Structure 1
């Protein structure tokens, strides 16, 4: 129990740090870096705003996962993780991962058909596969959570 409490506290600390870093990236670093790239490479200038929107959206998806994880940790701390309330936060994670997957898969298709070399399409393919694995893992974890919730409610009915 002590280890769980420390793990939850440490995870919460790093979630706050991650969220703060994501806000900085979302508001300053990514838009500034993309603007600088467009300035240095005028042939890429028309992609500045679409790339900025995509980057900000992908960071938003990660932020949704961070907030949902925080809420799930709150339910763990209150010993309410095996309740229907937790399913909505897992659903939020699944939907955020699905939205990110759609955007990255779209980027993969666009870049794949327009690339001169295989480097960027391969990188986007790797990211797409990684997001797919995370999304499918979350779907499986959601199913396990649903089963555990049903079992816990059955046990509470018996007791």
Structure 2
């Protein structure tokens, strides 16, 4: 068994663990955390459902990325990664990451607006964290767009090479 197959197996194990963690976070952890926040801080109770919705949707995007990555790993094992079929899964990753980034950007803007309207929320830690996540998310979105372009070039080269051989 070569190194690629070992890496794919290990990555699949980690993807399963990440998927389970995302489902737990989506169904138990974040909704419970925001319910607790609303009960402890009545001034923040209005944020419970919007924050829950954003957390659930961002974790849904993570789950889409995990499934698409799993499908791409299957294509790597079958040596079909440079085919046109891979573009659907890469596009799913790009759209999921873009959707999560837009949600995080919206949450960051809404939270910053809330901080300036609500005097109880003057701690800058959460907005700074969200701004950092928005920056990282933007980098990931653009990186995925570049990786998609590289896949397109590699698939084109592979098609050309297959035609020559």
TM-score (norm 2): 0.93
Question: Which residue of 2 is the match for residue 128 of structure 1?
Answer: 134
Instruction: State how far apart, in whole Å, the 2-side matches of 1:10 and 1:139 are.
Output: 26
For the aligned residues, what is the CA RMSD? 1.0
Gaps of 5+ in 2: 116-121
Q: Shift in Å at residue 58 of structure 1?
A: 0.6
Question: Which residue of 2 is the match for residue 28 of structure 1?
Answer: 28
Tell me the matched-pair count: 159
Alignment of 1:102-121 (within 5 A): 102-115=102-115, 116-121=122-127
Q: Shift in Å at residue 118 of structure 1?
A: 2.4
Q: Is the 8 A contact 2:54 2:107 kept in 1?
A: no
Alignment of 1:71-86 (within 5 A): 71-86=71-86
Alignment of 1:2-151 (within 5 A): 2-115=2-115, 116-151=122-157
For the residue of structure 1 that corresponds to 2:80, the secondary structure is coil
Gaps of 5+ in 1: none
Instruction: State how far apart, in whole Å, the 2-side matches of 1:117 and 1:14 are.
Output: 35
Instruction: State how far apart, in whole Å, the 2-side matches of 1:78 and 1:109 are.
Output: 44
Deviations 1:30-49 (A, max 9, x none): 11111111111111112111
Q: Shift in Å at residue 141 of structure 1?
A: 0.5
Q: Which moved more, 1:44-53 or 1:139-148?
A: 44-53
Instruction: State how far apart, in whole Å, the 1-side matches of 2:142 and 2:22 are.
Output: 24
For the residue of structure 2 that corresponds to 1:10, the secondary structure is helix
Deviations 1:77-125 (A, max 9, x none): 0000000110111110100111011111111111122222322221111
Poorly superposed stretches of 4+, deviation over 6 Å? none
Instruction: State how far apart, in whole Å, the 2-side matches of 1:148 and 1:121 are.
Output: 40
